[in-house]
Structure 1
């Protein structure tokens, strides 16, 4: 597994990429960029607050955001990029409270699948007006959506904004955005 910090990005939007060395370009469908925007009303795990960070996993890949100190409504605005070889692997996000002298405390988790997103990516959308809603994903037990999520054609790309309700915790939500990056020579999504 290789982790790379992307260069040339704005200072408020660091970028981390995980490319599994075991997957060859023949099986690679493309890259999934997950912008971890912010946490909302996260659980308190220290005396009055928490020091949250997010771990994103897909298959054997694992990336994490930076720690935001003493904030239950943190704004990360970080891009985490995963290589996608098997679109059936769910994406899981876990929020932790960073502790210096003890193990980090879990602050909830969420999971979602990218199959509907990849279906939208594979459509021929050239000529579609900017801002067109391609499809809507409704909250259900199979996903952790807190509200309806729209997959939208914007600036020549497919984007999906999601608000995920955290499980296994008393409160908290995460706002993220998905973006697909097609690689030259990779299989179609």
Structure 2
């Protein structure tokens, strides 16, 4: 059995930026993000001495089993140990958990917060099999509330003939910090699809 026989599609996560992250070194932090799906593990570059890092990096995973956890980790480098963000997929929804750490060469990474997001609305929008919408059309809006970690409204929208969802996540268990992400699903010809 080949990879294409089991391939559902591609999940691209754009790690945009961190906003007002906690200081974990003398006067700043060295943040990076680690994402993990099954045995696949990818990370962004380290942004040195910056509590408002701009990553603007796409991390792309092949998806063969929607029940595998997707681990999203947003960290700040202070040691060589990354932080972890775990996104679990159950039936038709994802429930991610994000943890931010600071990397330090002299000590263990410092935790910089965590966040959890429910991706069920995104998967539901994908399963609607929409097409031909005007660019920028908002398909759904998720409002911040006490049960999610959204810092502001999250929009599922039609962009460049694809459905994307943007998040600004407020980090928990830390004095401050937000992380911005964008999700995009890519169907591949010959794959099973969702």
> Could you say which residue in structure 2 is the equivalent of 1:181?
186
Contact 2:34 2:43 in 1 (8 A): yes
Size of the aligned set, in residue pairs, is 167
> Could you say which residue in structure 2 is the equivalent of 1:95?
100
> Could you say which residue in structure 2 is the equivalent of 1:163?
168
The answer to which of 118-127 and 129-138 deviates more is: 118-127
Equivalents in 1 of 2:5, 2:147: separation in Å?
30
Coordinate RMSD, CA, aligned: 2.1
> Could you say which residue in structure 1 is the equivalent of 2:73?
none
Equivalents in 2 of 1:56, 1:139: separation in Å?
24
Shift in CA distance, 109/48, structure 1 to aligned 2, threshold 3 Å: same
Shift in CA distance, 110/63, structure 1 to aligned 2, threshold 3 Å: farther
Contact 1:28 1:187 in 2 (8 A): yes
**SS of the residue 2:59 aligns to:** strand
1:149-179 CA distances to partner (integer Å, 9 max, x unpaired)? 1101011011111100111211000011111
| Aligned-pair CA distance for 1:111 | 2.5
Q: Does 1:65 align with 2:44?
A: yes
Equivalents in 2 of 1:64, 1:40: separation in Å?
18
- Superposition TM-score, scaled by structure 1 size: 0.79
1:25-75 CA distances to partner (integer Å, 9 max, x unpaired)? 444322211111100000000111111112234455443221111100010
Q: Does 1:36 align with 2:41?
A: no
- Superposition TM-score, scaled by structure 2 size: 0.77
**SS of the residue 2:105 aligns to:** coil
Q: Does 1:55 align with 2:13?
A: no
> Could you say which residue in structure 2 is the equivalent of 1:81?
60
> Could you say which residue in structure 1 is the equivalent of 2:132?
127
Q: Which runs of 5+ in 1 are unaligned?
A: 1-22
Equivalents in 2 of 1:174, 1:117: separation in Å?
18
**SS of the residue 2:141 aligns to:** strand
Contact 2:132 2:161 in 1 (8 A): no
